[in-house]
Structure 1
Amino acid sequence: MATNVVLDVDPGHDDAIALLLALGHEAVEVDAVTTVAGNGTLPKTTRNARRVLALADRADVPVAAGMAEPLVRSDDVIATPEVHGESALDGPDLPEPDRDAVDDHAVDVIRDAAREGSVTLVPTGPLTNVATALRQYPAVEDGIDGIVLMGGAAGTGNYTPAAEYNILVDPEAAAVVFDADVPVTMVGLDVTRESRLGRADIERIRGFGDPVGPTVAAWLDYFIGWHEEQYGRESVPVHDALAVGAVIDPGLVETEHLHVAVETSGDHTLGRTVCDRYGVRDAEPNAHVALGVDRGGFVDLLCGTLEAYSA
């Protein structure tokens, strides 16, 4: 039986690949796609989500735009043109969207999905939409089976030494999500960095039929260029796709049930997800934190799903 999901995204190359993985796999049923400001402004991320749905020929899936700024840090909005380009999804040409975003706000779409019951939220950007839904409509907790998010790290960050990007953009929202009475799985940098795609993987994807295989390969060509320049590595993490992979096959990641606190005030540690692996704070665990990954299984799952688009 398929898992009903709402994907909350800020495309972004890895968000786009996560969308294709979710849309193309029979184990999940995508009820809606909601967008948030993050890798780009809200108009950019919403347009990008709609273009990815057009690429996948899935105009049946509604897209709803959400929060354009973090909960309390409107002066500190972060975009990443240095990583994802000015469009937030630079690289190959994409089809024009064949459906407008719906009029409903993303927060209300999340609320309605939860009211229908048995939905899993998969946020792969800043957590502003999800936190706002939890704060405005506390009863939604009853209809959310779980939140499987890409964000955070038990170890080091990527946008700062301490913080992973999605959490750093809106740490107050992240704190709301981790404090919610909902099962949370944190798929963070500890595992996404260990499930990188190399040049051979990209060539494998390029060999799949039009239009998805060559497009994804071109996205990865663009994305890997920044990682080579920044880190000197000829491989690239597809962070957000692993969160979707963990919904499709939870066995891809090994987790520990830990208490996670989000730093919202540190001068050097703002946005850090503080994972209490040794129980020193005597606080109840509130998240299943992914610390191990089956890289080969993830790559095969991703490639098999992308290849099926050309079948």
Structure 2
Amino acid sequence: MSGQPIPVIIDCDTGVDDALALLFAVRHPGIDLRAVTCVAGNTDVDGVVRNTLTVLEQAGAPGVPVARGAERPLIETARSAPVHGHDGMGDLGLPAPTRRPVDVDAVTLLRREILASPRPVTLVPTAPLTNIALLLRTHPEVTRNIERIVFMGGAVATGNATPVAEFNVWHDPEAAAVLLTAGVPITMYGLDVFMRVVVPGSDVSRLRASADPGTRLGGELLAHRGPGSAEDPAGGLGDAGALCAVVDPAGLTTEPLPVEVSLAPGLTRGQTVVDRRPRLGKSEIHGDSGRPLPVDVALDIDEERYVKLWLSAVEGPAR
């Protein structure tokens, strides 16, 4: 990659795969990681802050500011994802971090860092979108210095929290609905591509044997994520793929499509309804509803390309 590094801010709920994304962002020379904000999701928000600081410390990251954000969704109660273990980080027994979060809340830090950036920021939420919704509603002026929002969330086809809803959107559907009206370019990196980028077991084993703490942590996290076994510990990159798409968007096939979040109670709550029809339907013709703004929806991905990209960064030295 040539040119200046891309200014990036990550909003996360660290989380095994958020940790893989943080490792990549810290170590890839094409990313200028300006801040990390934390929100309840994979675990409670205080656990997310602890996990985030731990990953940055293990990765040898410079003094990236980290802030505590929302401890629950806008309306719903908080509902964690037990797949990430009791501590949200695969119960790896990592030492407590010596780093501390900054003394401002996540929304304040987001506003400060976005507006202070000399170049427009790429905002990468890999978590429920509560912090982002609060930011956009409280400080809409930030959109003038946001280049793009690349969010991990949603699904065109099958969900994981419910048959149709992906966890991050399902956790706070109202926040996701706010995001989709932000008025800036948006890429939806959803489950349709999220599940497909898997690091082979031989690479995972090599990472786990590394003398570098950050590289070794990447291997341990991948081994926890699966879908591998003890004999073949292959692991999915998950959220880290969204960061790969920031650095190398050509590895992602997207299509601008209208996307709307289902907010009604019941089985479809939190579903991202992606309109792939080639022409307006009877509902729109009769004026029942307007089409929402188009979003660049990820429909296909070059898995091997992103695996190589992630490995080349995480096995490199800390910057």
Give the partner amino acid of 2:313. T
For 1:254, the equivalent position in structure 2 comes to 253
Give, in angstroms, the shift of residue 200 of structure 1.
2.9
Deviation string 1:161-183 (CA, Å, 9 cap, x unpaired) is: 11111111000000000111011
Q: 2 CA distance for matches of 1:113 and 1:275?
A: 32
Q: 1 CA distance for matches of 2:101 and 2:185?
A: 29
Matching of residue 176 in structure 1 with residue 184 in structure 2: no
Give, in angstroms, the shift of residue 28 of structure 1.
0.8
Give, in angstroms, the shift of residue 254 of structure 1.
0.7
Deviation string 1:138-168 (CA, Å, 9 cap, x unpaired) is: 1111121111011111110012111111111
Q: TM-score, normalised by structure 1?
A: 0.92
Give, in angstroms, the shift of residue 248 of structure 1.
0.9
Matching of residue 299 in structure 1 with residue 300 in structure 2: no
Give, in angstroms, the shift of residue 273 of structure 1.
0.6
For 2:288, the equivalent position in structure 1 comes to none
Matching of residue 112 in structure 1 with residue 112 in structure 2: yes
Q: 2 CA distance for matches of 1:145 and 1:172?
A: 23
Deviation string 1:250-291 (CA, Å, 9 cap, x unpaired) is: 111110001100011141111111111125466254310011
For 2:275, the equivalent position in structure 1 comes to 276
1:17-96 counterparts in 2 under 5 A?
17-74=20-77, 77-81=78-82, 83-96=83-96
Q: Which moved more, 1:271-280 or 1:295-304?
A: 271-280
Q: TM-score, normalised by structure 2?
A: 0.90
Give, in angstroms, the shift of residue 195 of structure 1.
1.3
Number of equivalences: 303
In structure 2, the residue corresponding to 1:129 is in which secondary structure? helix
In structure 2, the residue corresponding to 1:39 is in which secondary structure? coil
In structure 1, the residue corresponding to 2:180 is in which secondary structure? helix
For 1:142, the equivalent position in structure 2 comes to 144
Deviation string 1:92-137 (CA, Å, 9 cap, x unpaired) is: 3434323210011101111112222511110000000011000111
Give, in angstroms, the shift of residue 80 of structure 1.
1.5
Structure 1, unmatched stretches of 5+, are: none
From the superposition, tell whether residues 266 and 200 of structure 1 become closer, same or farther in structure 2 (CA, over 3 Å).
farther
Give the partner amino acid of 1:260. V
For 2:153, the equivalent position in structure 1 comes to 151
Q: 2 CA distance for matches of 1:187 and 1:201?
A: 24
From the superposition, tell whether residues 234 and 214 of structure 1 become closer, same or farther in structure 2 (CA, over 3 Å).
closer
Give, in angstroms, the shift of residue 310 of structure 1.
7.3
From the superposition, tell whether residues 61 and 304 of structure 1 become closer, same or farther in structure 2 (CA, over 3 Å).
same
Q: 1 CA distance for matches of 2:228 and 2:262?
A: 30
Q: 1 CA distance for matches of 2:100 and 2:312?
A: 30
Please tell me the root mean square deviation across aligned C-alpha atoms, in Å: 2.0
Q: Which moved more, 1:207-216 or 1:119-128?
A: 207-216
Q: 2 CA distance for matches of 1:213 and 1:189?
A: 26
The question of whether the paired residues in 2 share the 8 Å contact of 1:36 and 1:125 is answered with: yes
Structure whose alpha-carbon radius of gyration is higher: 2
The question of whether the paired residues in 2 share the 8 Å contact of 1:212 and 1:309 is answered with: no
Q: 1 CA distance for matches of 2:29 and 2:62?
A: 17
Q: 2 CA distance for matches of 1:276 and 1:53?
A: 39
Q: Comparing both structures, which one devotes a greater share of its residues to helix? A: 1
Structure 2, unmatched stretches of 5+, are: 285-290
Deviation string 1:42-101 (CA, Å, 9 cap, x unpaired) is: 000000000001101225101001000101113xx11122x0111111243434323210
Q: 2 CA distance for matches of 1:21 and 1:102?
A: 22
Give, in angstroms, the shift of residue 207 of structure 1.
4.4
For 2:297, the equivalent position in structure 1 comes to 289
From the superposition, tell whether residues 203 and 272 of structure 1 become closer, same or farther in structure 2 (CA, over 3 Å).
same
For 1:129, the equivalent position in structure 2 comes to 131
From the superposition, tell whether residues 207 and 297 of structure 1 become closer, same or farther in structure 2 (CA, over 3 Å).
farther
In structure 2, the residue corresponding to 1:31 is in which secondary structure? strand
Deviation string 1:176-196 (CA, Å, 9 cap, x unpaired) is: 001110111010111112212
From the superposition, tell whether residues 54 and 24 of structure 1 become closer, same or farther in structure 2 (CA, over 3 Å).
same
The question of whether the paired residues in 2 share the 8 Å contact of 1:158 and 1:165 is answered with: yes
Give the partner amino acid of 2:146. I
Give the partner amino acid of 1:35. C
Q: 2 CA distance for matches of 1:296 and 1:310?
A: 23
Q: Which moved more, 1:47-56 or 1:94-103?
A: 94-103
